[in-house]
Structure 1
Amino acid sequence: MSYPRIPRRPIARIASLLLATLAGTAGAAAAPLPAGTAAETAASSSGVARYAYRTLDYPGASSTKFWGINDFGDLAGEYRLDGSPIHAMTYRNGRFESLDPDGLFGDRGSASGGPNDLGTLCGFYTDESQRQHGFVQLWGLFETVDFAGHLNSNCDDVNLFGAIAGVYWDADGIQHGVLRRYGHDTPIEFPGSLGTYPLGIDNSGGIVGMWYTDPRTTHGFYRNAAGRYSAIDVPIAGPGGTVSIGINDADQIVGYYMDAANHYHGFVQTRGKTAYLDVPGAVQTFPTHINGFGVIVGYYVDSANHSHGFVATPR
């Protein structure tokens, strides 16, 4: 999952497209972020969300990104070791675990989103012919998810009732959204868009994601369970636009936007009010999911251009 410089979620691609991760087992490495930075000081200002931040990096990885969190604090995402593709992973009970069900992922790319509160994971893996497939995994049982008749598929999020927010694309690279529920597929297309990418789903069936008419400028969206769409655009976003990527059952929405200098920053929207968040000391911040307690996960990029996973707890 990677957007045209608007990054990834376990979960697919846009224009310069989406990638994510899966692989083996390791112990956790966690470190607090530096305090006293400009970003932390700004947290006392109006419109800036206040959080306690924690960095979590997969041991030995050159890149760590989280795409999901449930209400028990279990995480899922991707990591990369130098010289290797990204691999899907989870973080539970203070430990990282790399995922590779049935040896499907091997040395090819994969990534994981979720888990929901039942522990269901979702994401994608790449096969030997470089085609991308979605997957869901529950209690060790693994199932490939393909949207019939299309070259590439990805599962971006799954709710407690098994409804999947997914996407497919063919040779033209244009994403088309899908809601799969009880074996039935419903198109998810923002009205008038060229491409639509669902990225998060709540337990009532509300969906968030991004859409575009020009891949250089993206817009967030919310679709309620009745199928009504509304656009989400951060007022201070630059030409690169906005991506809404995660939603909880309190209808809090997280995402990120590009500023006029082409840097990414996070936002959280609560009852129509938008607050902004940046990991202290980070060059760019990408929130990707929010649980029912308002805890946010994602990743940030440091001055050396390395990606680190983070957990942000409200305070």
Structure 2
Amino acid sequence: MTVVKSCLSILVALGLIPGAVAQLTSFEAVDYPGSNNTVAFGINDAGDVVGYYKDAAQLAHGFLRRGSQFTTVDFPGARQTNIFSINARGDIGGVYYDNSAKQHGFVLSGSKFQTIDFPGAEQTMVYAMNGKGDLTGMYFAAGNPKHFGWALVGGTFSTIDHPLPNDMSCGSWISDGGEIAGHVQEKTGAYHGYFWRDGKFTSLIDFQGGKAWQFWDSIYGINDAGDMLGTYSDGRGKQRAFLRGKSGVTTFDVPGSQRTRATGMNRSGQIVGMFADGGGAQHGFLTKVAGTQQNRVLVVDDDGVDCPGGVRTIQEAVAAAPAGAVILVCPGIYQKTVSITGPDKNGLKLIATGAEGSVVLQGDYTERDGFHLENVSSVLVRGFTVRDFGTKPTTDTDWGAGNQIYLQDAHYNTIEQNTLINGDMMGIMLTDSGNNMLQRNVALVDNASLANCGIHMQGAKSANNVVRQNKIFGNKFAGIMIRGAGPGNLVADNTVVNNGRFGIDVEGTNEIWLEGNRVSYSQGFWGTATPGGKQPGLGINLVSVNKATVFDNRMRANSGTDLNWDGKGDNRIETNACDTAIPADGCKR
């Protein structure tokens, strides 16, 4: 690799907000060996870079650069391949051209290629992918010159078409929460940045400054601090890169380049893109925002095979990590509790890489907790399979003790995309922990001797938590149980099926909001005897609650009552679908 210049020239910020703007370090050229035409497009938190290069026949091939090692990545049988995105797990997204020169999107996960075609589209492009594997990009419809944006979020395709009269709407970035950024081209030729989520456009984004800023290419990256990375063309038509933060806008070019395009950014502040040199040849580049706080990435590999050079245990990485560091855990089976405690571990990001289910935190029923978070904030735990933790088995006289993921006095954390299996007694347990996000986890039990709650919340400080889009099956005690918690918790769009005594149980907790949940087949306590006896299954159970909202939930085939409310408190219960209720008119509200 070559360093283009020891110090990047920082051109003027627009001065949207007074104060210092971002400073960038030196540029490093990213050139595929032997090619004079390379484009770097995406980068993940491990620093892996993806893009494409052209061979002597000017045919494009995808590449992955890991460390200093380049690997060609071509879709099998394709005429050409472009790669645009890589996520924390190492999944790769891009476009291939078939023998008729038609474009198709694809994803490479591990060694498995998958074609992604928007339903009914003539051509499809995958431009961005998040940590969960949700996608965005652009497609062409047969016989229609217009270009549409699209999203694949949670397995559902959606068209992105801005209401402005336009020739193109394109998605170029997607957050782990499913928010998409991109650009729309009006029929007048003007470009605007946009944000889109759940079928709605939330804002248009334009630079201020009048005619000098005539063209907006797109938003290609947004970091945890809300800084936006992208590319625009100035009033003279020169394509340049920008980084827009709370303190202003930095515009930048690779020194001596004809044009510069920034297209990817990770949590460590590394930025990738492409530039054209004085002779017009294209090169990739890598630079970095100086002084980035989240500037350390640690890698964990249990046997040193998948990710050579990493430490061997997750706890070893946590112990070495400064606040805000990213810990990438490579495929393997890991033992022992992972303890994340104290403010000096605030902001850690623990991310399982590789295929779904390939990173396992394995208990043996001798340790109480899998992940243990205490007195920390802003921690991310994503993509792990956690199973078989707990130290006290359930009997017919006493409940068990154990948690796959435990939060104590832990706030503003995100627990997402984890699979929690056969714990005794909680999948995820929150005690006096508020403002946390629990989303898209799976909590299941298939062992009749265990009595579990998929998600349990308790303690007055357990307020303003969000529990959304989780799938919870087979827990003998309850799918979701919230008892004696604080106000303001939201439980929405969860699938809670085939659990025991309760689907969703709320007791002694005020100002809770339950919306859009699907709660079915709660069958009562089953399997080995428990202290709960043989009571029937309740779908949603409300006891001693006040100012609760229970709206648009679907409850069916629960062995006791679909909706059970003790009648206490001033609560809003309406537009729910169920067959049986206490009071009797509960399903008709």
- What TM-score bracket applies, with the shorter chain setting the length? 0.7 to 0.9
Contact 1:87 1:111 in 2 (8 A): yes
Q: What's 2:100 paired with? A: 129
Contact 2:60 2:82 in 1 (8 A): yes
**What is the letter of the counterpart of residue 259 of structure 1?**
D
Q: What's 2:237 paired with? A: 262
- The answer to whether 1:202 aligns with 2:171 is no
Q: What's 2:372 paired with? A: none
Contact 2:272 2:287 in 1 (8 A): yes
Deviations 1:231-253 (A, max 9, x none): 22233554333422223343322
Equivalenced residue count is 281
Q: What's 2:53 paired with? A: 79
**1:126 CA displacement:** 0.8
- The answer to whether 1:190 aligns with 2:165 is no
Q: What's 2:346 paired with? A: none
Change in 2 beyond 3 A, CA 1:41/1:179 = closer
Q: What's 2:323 paired with? A: none
**1:224 CA displacement:** 4.6
CA distance in 1, matches of 2:23, 2:191: 23
Change in 2 beyond 3 A, CA 1:272/1:124 = farther
Contact 2:10 2:23 in 1 (8 A): no
Contact 2:12 2:250 in 1 (8 A): no
Q: What's 2:3 paired with? A: 32
**What is the letter of the counterpart of residue 305 of structure 1?**
G
SS at match of 2:244: strand
Q: What's 1:176 paired with? A: 148
Matching of residues 275-286 of structure 1 within 5 Å: 275-286=250-261
Change in 2 beyond 3 A, CA 1:98/1:135 = same
CA distance in 2, matches of 1:173, 1:91: 36
Deviations 1:72-121 (A, max 9, x none): 000111111232222111111211111124x322xx22211221000010
Q: What's 2:193 paired with? A: 220
Question: Normalization by structure 1: what TM-score?
Answer: 0.82
Contact 2:160 2:199 in 1 (8 A): no
Q: State, as a whole percentage, how many aligned pairs show the same letter.
A: 27
| Higher RCO, 1 vs 2 (CA within 8 Å, ≥6 residues apart) | 1
CA distance in 1, matches of 2:93, 2:44: 13
In structure 2, which of residues 186, 192, 215 is the aligned counterpart of residue 240 of structure 1? 215
CA distance in 1, matches of 2:82, 2:118: 18
Q: What's 2:63 paired with? A: 89
Q: What's 1:306 paired with? A: 281
CA distance in 1, matches of 2:116, 2:153: 12
Change in 2 beyond 3 A, CA 1:219/1:248 = same
Q: What's 2:322 paired with? A: none
User: 5+ unaligned residues in a row in structure 1: which ranges?
Assistant: 1-29
Between structure 1 and structure 2, the one with the greater Rg is 2
**1:257 CA displacement:** 0.9
Q: What's 2:116 paired with? A: 145
Contact 1:203 1:249 in 2 (8 A): no
CA distance in 1, matches of 2:10, 2:247: 25
Contact 2:10 2:252 in 1 (8 A): no
SS at match of 1:279: coil
Contact 1:258 1:264 in 2 (8 A): yes
CA distance in 2, matches of 1:109, 1:272: 42
Contact 1:89 1:112 in 2 (8 A): yes
SS at match of 1:51: coil
- The answer to whether 1:116 aligns with 2:87 is yes
Change in 2 beyond 3 A, CA 1:293/1:43 = farther
Contact 2:223 2:265 in 1 (8 A): yes
**1:215 CA displacement:** 7.0
Change in 2 beyond 3 A, CA 1:220/1:51 = farther
Change in 2 beyond 3 A, CA 1:43/1:310 = farther
